[in-house]
Amino acid sequence: MILALLCLSAGVATALEGWYTEEEVRFPAMGQTAPYTIVRRSWYTDDCMRKDEEWKGITIARFDQDRIYYLEPGLEGYFEITPEMLQRNALTDLKAFGAVEDSRGKLHFPEDLFVRTETRKRIGPWDTYQVMTNPIYRDPQRPYMVLWYSHQVDFPVQLLGNQLRQFFGDSPEVKGLFERIRQFEGYPVRTEAHGLGGTVVTTLRKVEYHKDIDPSMFEVPENYHQLPTPDQMPGMRPSK
């Protein structure tokens, strides 16, 4: 009996520890598409991340393998990319955070890019204060951010920074972005990303520390097949 139990336990993957969050994400109307809202559920460990975004799909990041997978449950398929591929397009993505171009066209995050205001707001169970893109860097053609920070959220901001660097690389631009985020105390409970196409609002609803995360959550299901890379997803690895 003891031998049987030992054999059984040997075949069971050890549960992982990490963080779980739930966020409400509100998207603006785009073309013929009406505004809509999804709930994003995320799991974070030291080497892995998973984001479930309802019908928009699932992202699994395996930083220990330098691989990122986008799963399409309805098709039982997935796309595969590497962080290096994402990093090639990183500068374009970083513009959404309000990066500023200097006279040479190089992106950077000035020390005074974000400023704290006197505005405060209660969001869910948390008291927050407002941080926003400095008005001197705002114009009608440039994205800008409004963030609501709280001291009451128990979530390691450093973990967020580490994974930003793994997604976008350890460039001076990424370091600059994280330094600007960290210069304010607390964690951003809500982010409002204002762009030409409207505003995307992401609001934290729940944050928990779990000691029993199933490792299989960070694996591509065995019955999934690799999908051809769509033309509109540049930088992704073509299917073999």
Distances (CA, A) of 115 to 71, 75, 87, 196: 38, 44, 28, 22
Distance CA 71, CA 58 (A): 5
- Check residue 22 and give its pLDDT: 98
Domain-embedded: residue 120: yes
- Check residue 124 and give its pLDDT: 96
pLDDT (tens digit, 0 to 9) for every residue of the chain, 240 residues total?
444 444 434 444 689 999 999 999 999 998 888 999 999 999 999 889 999 999 889 999 888 888 889 999 999 999 988 766 776 666 666 777 777 777 777 777 888 989 999 999 999 999 999 999 999 888 888 889 999 999 999 898 777 776 776 677 667 777 777 788 888 999 999 999 998 889 999 999 999 999 999 999 999 999 999 998 654 454 444 344
Distances (CA, A) of 158 to 92, 137, 163, 164: 23, 26, 9, 10
Domain-embedded: residue 237: no
Domain-embedded: residue 115: yes
- Check residue 10 and give its pLDDT: 41
Domain-embedded: residue 143: yes
- Check residue 232 and give its pLDDT: 44
- Check residue 67 and give its pLDDT: 86
Give the number of domains in the chain: 1
Domain-embedded: residue 7: no
Domain-embedded: residue 92: yes
- Check residue 229 and give its pLDDT: 67
Edge-first strand order for the sheet with 126-133 is 114-123, 126-133, 144-150, 187-195, 198-213, 16-27, 36-44, 48-52, 58-62, 67-72, 77-81, 225-226
- Check residue 45 and give its pLDDT: 92
Domain-embedded: residue 240: no
Distance CA 128, CA 117 (A): 11
Domain-embedded: residue 210: yes
**Segments forming the whole domain that contains residue 93:** 14-226
SS3 content of the chain, % helix, strand, coil (to 5): 25, 40, 35
Collapsed DSSP state (helix, strand, coil) of residue 6: helix
pTM (two decimals): 0.83
CA atoms within 13 A on the CB side of 41: 6
Q: What values do phi and psi take at 153, rounded to 5?
A: -95, 125
Distance CA 94, CA 107 (A): 8
The CATH number of the domain where 117 resides is what? 2.50.20.10
